[in-house]
Chain A
Amino acid sequence: MASSRLEKVGTIFSRVTGLLRAGAMDVKDKPIWYDVYRAFPPKIEPLFSRPIEDVPLREIIYPEDSIRAKLHKTLGKKLPAYNLLDRTHPTVSQKIILQTIQYQKENPNLTEDEALSKAIENYNNEIKQFKADDIPQDINKPKFGYYKKSNLAGEFKKAVESKVDLKKILNED
């Protein structure tokens, strides 16, 4: 099959069209992609020497970025790790930023720093409350939902204590 191997001249479509027009390539031998390309040409012609468009790059900056910067400066490494796959819960910094914006809305006299420190305090209190709620008052009577950490020794002891009585089971049957 005749073909042109100059990839820097024109596009694959223009080269094959030239071959077809000149009769170097039979119409029966035309590649199967040819009609598809004709019907749905690409948005940008795949030319090797396509001139570079001078498109300016813009910085992506959000209005709450100043708050975010201050937050990360104050808390920094104290911020907990995030699970990137979790899309249902907002992250800690998101929570604090939203709270700060809300404080500023409620009280326009507050400066950004004051609102932020207030929000951080609020968050710390929330965590303290959460931890306090989590510890059961009476250890003998664990609260509902309290998860006791299991270890191998404990599990074994539990299994030994709750020995299965085979005779009882057989008698029942």
Chain B
Amino acid sequence: MIHPWVRPKLASKFKCCTNYFAQKLSTAPNIDIQPSESDNQVLSQDPKLPNPLRHHDYFQVRDLVRVKDMFDAKVHLGHKVGSLDDRMRPFVFGVRQNQVIFDLDKSAEFLKDALNFIAHIAYRDGIILFVGQCAQNSSLVEKTAKECKEFAHTRFWRQGMLTNSDKIFRAVTRLPDLVIFTNTLTTVLASNPAIVEAAKICIPSIGIVDSNCNPNLITYPIPGNDDTHSAVQYYCQLFKTAILKGKKAKEETTKLLEETKIQ
């Protein structure tokens, strides 16, 4: 690091130096990080181009979530009270016959936020990875990932697949931009190591957290049933539509850009 006061002096000294050195010096500390500034510039150049971040629901994925559908898919059913994680208490509606019942009104809000985030990542050409070590649902999750042309890993998670990927895959690896967990547990007691790894490497995560899971490290947790096939089917279908909607919007904007360039 070079102190910002020294930098201009140095820059004047080494003006004649190679391009590489100039580039090194120009990495000025970004005091005012306004990522929307660059978007503003794009906007000012192309007034026709929409900025999805300005809209509450640009991809119209929030309308997809209905509490009735969630109830029919048995999303509200949790585990027995004995296995309840105290960190899941705010999302619980009540206990019926020793079984935890989720508050679907809250879950729906979380699900809507998660879907919006997924659609935005897909719009920005992000790589999305589905992770879920649940034997009975793994084929369904893999099929979903295939259908929306994304990636899935539903088997045993080798330690360091994100944090030490270059060594494990023996090549420079492009890491995913978003990890979706359809199941956050590997066994009844242990949570998936991929959650910690994603948090370490600063990859946002979306995860369905059942009543016996820890939602703290997951960026966009969705409280709900993660075991029942109908529930996982429901989530997978929503995730798929969100990704496809994001990709479709991306295609449309690129088309618009090309048209404006031609004109």
Question: Residues of A at under 8 Å CB distance from B?
Answer: 3-7, 11-12, 15-17, 20-23, 26-27, 30-40, 42-44, 46-50, 52-55, 57-60, 87
Contacts and interface: CB of A to CB of B under 8 A. Distances in A.
Contacts of B39: 35
Contacts of B35: 27, 30, 34-35, 38
Interface string B1-39: 100000000000000000000000001111101011001
Interface of B: 1, 27-31, 33, 35-36, 39, 53, 72, 81, 84, 86-87, 89-90, 92-96, 101, 109-110, 113, 116-117, 120-121, 124-126, 163, 177-178, 196, 199-204, 215-221
A60 B96 contact: yes
B249 to A, nearest CB: 13
A15 B109 CA distance: 26
B200 A55 contact: no
A43 B91 CA distance: 12
B121 A33 contact: yes
A37 B125 CA distance: 16
A47 B95 CA distance: 27
Contacts of A20: 30, 33
B36 A32 contact: no
Contact of B217 (A37, A46, A54, A60): A46
A60 B36 contact: no
Contacts of B178: 33
A57 B89 contact: yes
10 contacts: A3-B202, A5-B201, A20-B33, A23-B29, A36-B53, A36-B117, A38-B36, A40-B120, A54-B89, A57-B84
B5 to A, nearest CB: 14
The 10 closest A-B CB pairs, nearest first, are: A23-B29, A7-B199, A60-B94, A60-B96, A39-B53, A55-B89, A36-B120, A32-B124, A5-B200, A35-B35
Contacts of B125: 32
B204 A57 contact: no
A40 B196 CA distance: 22
A9 B149 CA distance: 34
Contact of B203 (A6, A12, A47, A52): A12
Nearest to B93: A60
Given A33-B203, A42-B220, 17 more contacts: A5-B163, A12-B199, A20-B33, A27-B35, A33-B126, A35-B39, A36-B53, A36-B117, A37-B117, A42-B113, A46-B216, A48-B216, A55-B89, A57-B81, A57-B89, A59-B96, A60-B96
